[in-house]
Amino acid sequence: MRGMFVVLEGPDGSGKTTQITLLKEYLESMGKECLITREPGGTRIGEAIRRIILDPEYTEMSDVTEMLLYAAARAQLVHDKIGPAIEEGKIVISDRFVDSSLVYQGIARGLGIDTVDRINAPGIGRYRPDLVFFIDIPEEEGIARKMQQKKLDRLEQQSIDFHHMVSMGYRQVLTDRPDVIRIDGCRPIGEIQEEIRKHFTF
Ligand code: ADP
Ligand code: TYD
């Protein structure tokens, strides 16, 4: 039996990682087998690409290079982990997927949604998400949370205008799509988790 593919999307610091950890605990307590993956990364090759993409030293990286590196890391993740786990009937929960590229590279970098979608299509194949939770928070709030948590990576160090484009981009890409559930991310962690869990009925 085919498994399920769930993705959490939202700006940096919106609480995706926090919610995924809680969701995994819940699903496993219900006897479900889960696989958690993160983007970019999640495979040996993907983690190597992640180090290049996020390293603040690489200030010269072109927007097109950035788009291709994200797509390459994703292709390897689908090939090594996501595809096989779905075929084995597991619930795959991914911290970001192709919608992040549509928003960050397609809109915030200005490469265009169609271009980014076409570049990613061969790597994704038929493994499109069944459910996308969009955790919506103001960009300033997300970056403030990240600054408290760790040193900012190359993407997080972009200007506030860039992060503003990301927020607008998310609303553009994820509005009016039947697979997307928008969640207000400014509420307490437990309340958000409760809302997410309501969408899993076994
Ligand atoms: P993301 O994976 O989306 O970047 P994280 O889950 O790493 O976000 O959360 C970023 C920071 O914000 C962490 O320090 C986390 O504890 C905190 N955080 C997460 N969710 C909330 C929330 N609902 N309210 C306040 N702080 C939160
Ligand atoms: P990460 O630390 O995983 O993000 P988070 O802050 O959500 O924990 O870093 C990933 C960064 O890469 C984040 O700033 C968003 C960006 N990104 C893209 O620009 N395009 C993509 O396709 C993906 C998956 C991420």
Question: pLDDT digits over 21-79, tens only?
Answer: 999 999 999 999 999 999 999 999 999 999 999 999 999 999 999 999 999 999 999 99
Q: What is the pLDDT of residue 184?
A: 98
Q: Which ligand is nearest to the CA of 99?
A: 2
Distance (Å) from CA 101 to ligand 2 centroid: 9
pTM for the full predicted model: 0.97
Greatest Cα pair distance, the chain, in angstroms, is 49
| Mean pLDDT, rounded, for 187-201 | 97
Smallest-distance ligand from the CA of 71 = 2
Q: Chain-wide mean pLDDT for the chain?
A: 96
- Residue 157 Cα to ligand 2 middle (Å): 12
User: Residue 124 — pLDDT band, cuts 50, 70, 90?
Assistant: very high
> Ligand 1 centre and the CA of 101: distance in Å?
21
What average pLDDT does the segment 89-106 reach? 98
Q: What is the pLDDT of residue 64?
A: 98
- CA of residue 168 to ligand 1 center, whole Å: 20
Q: In this structure, are residues 10 and 186 in contact, taking their beta carbons and an 8 Å threshold? A: no
Q: What average pLDDT score do residues 1-15 get? A: 96
**Residue to substitute in 17, 145, 156, 193 for testing ligand 1 pocket (most ligand atoms within 8 angstroms of CB):** 145
Pocket mutation for ligand 1, best pick of 18, 149, 170, 187 (most atoms within 8 Å of C-beta): 18
Q: What share of the chain in percent tops pLDDT 90?
A: 95
**Which ligand is the nearest neighbour of the Cα of 94?**
2
Give yes or no for residue 202 having a pLDDT over 90.
no
**Which pLDDT value is given to residue 1?**
86
- Ligand 1 within 6 A of 18 CB? yes
Region class of 6: left (phi > 0), else alpha (psi between -120 and 50), else beta = beta
Q: Is the peptide bond before 40 cis (omega within 30 degrees of 0)?
A: yes
Average of pLDDT values for 97-114? 98
Q: Tell me which residue has its CA closest to atom 6 in ligand 2.
A: 12
